[in-house]
Amino acid sequence: MRKLHYKLLIVDDMPDSLSYIRLSLDELAFIHKEIAIISNPMEALQYMRNHEVDILLLDMDLNLADLTGVKFAGMIPNPPVIIACSAHTNYVFEANEAGIYSYISKTTSFDKLKTKMEDAITQVDKRIEMQNRNIRVLKIPIEKGQFVDLEVDQIYYAELLPDGLKVYMGQDEYVFRLNLREFQAKLPADQFARPRNNTLVNLAKVGLIRTDLVYLTKPRENIQLSITPTFKSEFNHQHALYRQNNK
């Protein structure tokens, strides 16, 4: 596994119908304990724009006249791995046609749920591997027809501030009209990690981690950033994995 915990979002307009699955997910150590549950699909779209989601558990029986689970899946830009969920089996073909990765019943057994989730994180890991290949320079739009080229290895960290996303390089700083999730999706997933909700760090620049602080080594100075409890275990895990793979 490339992550210590995988982040899950559940979209269901009747979340109580998933109470059994929700309890079963708590037994899976590789699923992040803070599972987001959203009943409004439009709010779910906004959530995915601003938060990292590895796996989406999507109800096919959305009780909305003009929106089905399949249609909603097609509205998601850069969708996570999607598992369709329903009390009925008549959605299986539609889910496959829509590119939804897998399907489970709301009454599935714990063993089947565990297998489906393990298969899903394997798919997440494959996506991470693909994302890590040959990403050396990012072209970030600044104005119509104009771009800034950012060398990935020269990025120290990025921080979401009220006036935009500020990216700290070796010598320069840039502010872009991007959210942190959009920026993170462009980068090698195994090289960048969040020590806190609004900050993304280049693990290659980490010189030291001490308790709740991470120190980035920069010529003539050290950068000190805080690590919040919510992100601490995952950040430390990703840093250890990066060091192991880049000795």
Identify whether 3 is part of a domain: no
CATH number at residue 217: 2.40.50.1020
Note whether 96 and 183 are same-domain residues: no
* 209 and 183 together in one domain: yes
Same domain, 119 and 13: yes
Query: What range does the domain containing 123 cover?
Result: 8-132
91 neighbors 60 (Cβ within 8 angstroms): yes
Q: Which of 93, 108, 132 is the last residue of a domain?
A: 132
Of the CA atoms within 13 Å of residue 247, those in its CB half-sphere come to 4
Asked if residue 2 belongs to a domain, the reply is: no
Does residue 220 register a pLDDT over 80? no
Phi and psi at 164, nearest 5°, equal 140, -170
Shortest CA distance to 106 belongs to which of 177, 50, 25, 225? Answer: 25
Backbone φ and ψ of 167, nearest 5°: -110, 125
Q: Around Cβ 106, how many Cβ atoms within 10 Å?
A: 17
Q: List for the chain the helix, strand, coil content (%; round to 5).
A: 35, 35, 30
Tens-place pLDDT, residues 74-108: 888 888 999 988 776 666 666 666 668 888 888 88
Q: Is the pTM of this model over 0.85?
A: no
pLDDT for 28: 94
Domain-terminating residue out of 98, 113, 132? 132
Specify the number of domains making up the chain: 2
